[in-house]
Every structure is written in C-alpha cells, then in structure tokens.
Amino acid sequence: MSDGVTVEFATRITEQCLEIRDLYEIEECVRQPNEQNLTEFLYDLSAFLLELECPHDELTCGEITSRFQSSSSRDLLSKFLESEVKTARLVTLQKIESGEIVSEKRDLELTPVIDAAFQALSSPKHAGNSNEWKLLETLRQKVDGRVSQSRRTPLFKATLDEKTLPEIEKQCKSFSRDFYNRLLLLNSRLKVTVESFLWNDRLRAQREKIQSILSSRVEEIGKIKANCDVAHLLAASSSLLYIQKASDMSRRNRTKSKQHPLSVGDAPKDRGGRTEEMVGVKQESFRQQQHNYDRQNSHNRPKNTGTFERPKTQEEQVLEQHTSREHHGQNWRGRGRGRGRGRGGR
C-alpha cells in the first residue's frame, strides 16, 4: 500500500471529499485516514465515488486495493475530484443568488455582525430566509444615507506651512500629555471602584481573584500609547464636540442592574414599610365613622338635652360666632364696646 496510496495523498483526497459533501449535502463521507485504516479509507472513497456517479470505470470497478496503485489512476482521481469541487461551488453560488439556500446554511460568524449593523442603523429585522446579497445591498444603502445625513466638518481649517507646523506639533504634545493623564485617572478610578466593593464580606473571600483580574485590566490599559501626531489633528471632525455621559441609560443596556417592579411605575402611597408587605387601608364601619365625627365636633355641639339635633354646618358655625360676639358686646376687629384690649377698647 505504501507504493500506491500514501497518508498524504489520502489526506488531500479527504479534504476535497469533505468540501464536496458540505456543498452537495450528501450523506456519504470519507473518514480521515492514517496508517492503520487505509483500507477503510478506500472503501469510503469507493462509496463516495459511486454517490457522485463517477464515469471512470478504473476508479469504481476492480479490486479495491489495486485501483489506485498506478500514478495515472491517482492523477485521474485528483482531477475528477478537483472538477467536482469547482462544479459544487458554482452550483452553491447559483443557489445563494436565487435565494434557494435559507438561513440554516448562512455564515454563523458573520450573522451577529450583520444583525448588530442593522440594529445600529435602527433598521427593522429581516426574515431568516432573506437573500444575502439583497441584505448587504440594503445595508449599504442605509449606511450611505446615514453618512449623507451626518456630514462632519474638520476642526482644523488652517493652512499648513512652515510657521504653523511647529505650533501644531506643540499642540499635539499637549494632547498626548492630556491623554496620558486621563489614562492615569482611569486607572485610579478603576482601583478605587474595586476597593469599594471589597468591603463586602462575601467578596472579601475572593479578593485575590478580583485583584488578579484588576491587574490584568490595568496592564492592558497601560499598553495604550498616548501618541498624538499631525494625522490625528487633521482627522479630527466636529463629531468630537458631542459629549455623551458615561451614566447615560442608552450606554448601560448591558450593565444596568435590575429594578423592583414597583420602582418603575408610580410610587406607592405607603412609603413606610416593605413594598412586598404592603396592605390596603381597612374601610371603617359606620359606627367608627360616627364615633370619629362626634369626637371632632364635640366643641361645637351643645350639652346633651335628651333629643337628637342635626350637626351644624361650617357656615352656620361661623355665623353663630359672629352673632354671639355682637350680642354680648365683645370686641370685634377692635371697634366693639367690650372690655377687650384691642384698638377700640378702653
């Protein structure tokens, strides 16, 4: 067998058969060969060639161990599989362009990227069986429309000459120092934030693990080079003038904490106890309502005469107070005849 089919030749044939199998979606497969299973490889290859309806009898007929002993038969096998690979690629391309291949066969690595692009462009989600070329064309049109609507003007509008170039380089060095200081501030804020969480007893047990993660992050930030040159200054546009808060809710979709359902809606009336233990106010009975009314209006009610009297209204009580003061000569607004100490009294 070493004079005929070798492991290197069998491996190359297996790769071609695997690509044909994936493109044509056939069930037959050729297993990966080694020194011990070359005979099994020949049986798998024979079944695979029959599945492809190979027209060459010298490749499909005769003793299986002697079919590929000659170099001419091996060259014929390589040429046949190479032509089948090209044909399978063309057939698959036609299926993609016609929309026959649905989402089950699309590129799973590229799909999340395309979905994220449509989400960033606020475009509605497309169906799973959409044609890939039409999808990319729609994406291109959306991007072109967004670019045309958001034209940016350069911040640097002066002309470059021998006089302005030294000032520009000086300004770039200033930007580099400022960027480096911001990196130091970011590292400090990161360390302080982690230290504030380590006060928790539950997290204190994992202090070493947290510190190792923190040190790796700080090391990654330290590798960032704060080098600002003329190219950065020329590329600066008016889009840098828009400042977005780091605490903006649109940037915290993946980091915001869960909220209690009651904190999202209207605030509950009872703010004294726990929200999950709140109960409604009990309705008073008629007897309790009458008792509370009697206690509130006891000073306006005459002594008990044995008969029931209708409670007086607020207007009747005020009128009674005014008339009683006039009849008894009390001082009213300082002009009465009473003995009060107002401005009208003696």
Whether residue 205 is found in the same domain as residue 218? yes
Q: Is residue 289 part of a domain?
A: no
Q: State the residue for tokens 């204190």.
A: 204
Q: Is residue 250 part of a domain?
A: no
Predicted pLDDT at 294: 65
Question: How does pLDDT run along the chain (346 residues), one tens digit per residue?
Answer: 445 788 888 899 999 999 999 888 888 888 888 888 888 888 889 889 988 888 888 888 888 888 888 889 989 999 999 999 999 999 988 887 776 765 454 556 677 777 888 888 877 766 655 666 777 888 888 888 877 777 778 888 888 888 888 888 888 888 888 888 888 888 888 888 888 888 888 888 888 888 899 888 888 888 887 788 888 888 888 877 777 776 676 766 666 666 655 555 555 555 555 556 655 556 666 666 666 666 666 555 555 554 545 667 777 777 777 666 554 554 445 444 545 444 444 4
Predicted pLDDT at 131: 67
CB burial of residue 191 (10 Å; 0-12, 13-18, 19+): middle
Whether residue 86 is found in the same domain as residue 125? no
Predicted pLDDT at 82: 93
Integer Cα distance of 37 and 52 in angstroms: 23
Whether residue 183 is found in the same domain as residue 134? no
Whether residue 119 is found in the same domain as residue 88? no
Whether residue 94 is found in the same domain as residue 108? no
Q: Helix (H, G, I), strand (E, B), or coil: what is residue 148? A: helix
Identify the domain boundary among 217, 239, 261: 239
CB burial of residue 95 (10 Å; 0-12, 13-18, 19+): middle
Within 8 A by CB and 6+ apart from 129, the residues are 99, 102, 103
Q: State the residue for tokens 């989400």.
A: 119
Q: State the residue for tokens 């959409």.
A: 130
Question: Domain residues for 134?
Answer: 103-149
Predicted pLDDT at 80: 92
Whether residue 212 is found in the same domain as residue 178? yes
Whether residue 80 is found in the same domain as residue 130? no
Integer Cα distance of 231 and 228 in angstroms: 8
Q: Is residue 142 part of a domain?
A: yes
Q: What is the tens place of the pLDDT at every residue in 149-181?
A: 777 788 888 888 888 888 888 888 888 888 888
Whether residue 174 is found in the same domain as residue 112? no
Query: In whole angstroms, how far apart are CA 44 and each of 22, 79, 81?
Result: 16, 18, 14
Integer Cα distance of 162 and 148 in angstroms: 35
Domain count, the chain: 3
Q: Is residue 189 part of a domain?
A: yes
Q: Is residue 277 part of a domain?
A: no
Q: Is residue 278 part of a domain?
A: no
Whether residue 72 is found in the same domain as residue 107? no
Q: Is residue 307 part of a domain?
A: no
Identify the domain boundary among 211, 239, 267: 239
Q: Helix (H, G, I), strand (E, B), or coil: what is residue 154? A: strand
275 contacts 268 by C-beta, under 8 angstroms: yes
Q: What is the tens place of the pLDDT at every residue in 66-117?
A: 888 888 998 999 999 999 999 999 998 888 777 676 545 455 667 777 788 8
Helix (H), strand (E) at residue 125: none
Whether residue 44 is found in the same domain as residue 108? no
Quick count: other Cβ atoms within 10 Å of Cβ 200?
Answer: 10
Whether residue 88 is found in the same domain as residue 107? no
Within 8 A by CB and 6+ apart from 201, the residues are none
Whether residue 50 is found in the same domain as residue 67? yes
Q: What is the pTM of this model?
A: 0.34
Q: Is residue 293 part of a domain?
A: no
